[in-house]
Amino acid sequence: MRCPSCASLDTQVKASRPTDDSSSIRRRRICPDCGGRFTTFERVQLRELTVLKRSGRRVPFDRDKLQQSVDVALRKRPVDPERVERMINGIVRQLESMGEGEVPSETVGELVMEGLKGLDDVAYVRFASVYKNFREAKDFEEILGKLAEGEEELPPPPKKKRAPSEP
Ligand SMILES: [Zn+2]
């Protein structure tokens, strides 16, 4: 496994254990060249998946790409990587159980949004803003409004203070 920091091919497994739900094996690896540490996961792949893009193009499903977009949404958020792993596993299992192994890209996006909503509100809004290609502030308000549903009602916005120069 190539080191993500220095690209050395000589990395070593330091520890190996199943994730909490035993759906993956988690390996901690170390790179003797640069001292970099990283984690890899070994998982079951039940079937090959094809993603049908909005353009009509078909591409092989790429779990790493999905992981990358999730990682971008979760950047600097305090979420346990194992929870992320479980969420992605869940998405992949759902996709694998659908239809004939071909899934619309919209379905993938909806599942990721749903999964992120359960993990981290900020990541959810980040992902949704890219995925839904928000152009207007009201789109954000709408999705933030949906997040607030079921929670306490927000207090009314503070009244504008009158500037001292005004009569
Ligand atoms: Zn390295």
Task: State the Cα–Cα distance between residues 101 and 39, nearest whole angstrom.
Answer: 29
**Could you list which residues have their CB under 5 Å from ion ligand 1?**
3, 5-6, 8, 31, 33-34, 36
More confident call, 6 vs 1:
6
Task: State the Cα–Cα distance between residues 87 and 13, nearest whole angstrom.
Answer: 24
Q: Say whether pTM exceeds 0.75.
A: no
**Dihedral (Cα; 68, 74, 76, 81), 10-degree rounding:** -80
Task: Give per-residue pLDDT as tens, 59-116.
Answer: 999 888 899 889 999 999 999 988 999 999 999 989 988 877 889 988 999 999 999 9
Report CA(31)–ligand 1 centroid distance (Å). 5
Report CA(143)–ligand 1 centroid distance (Å). 41
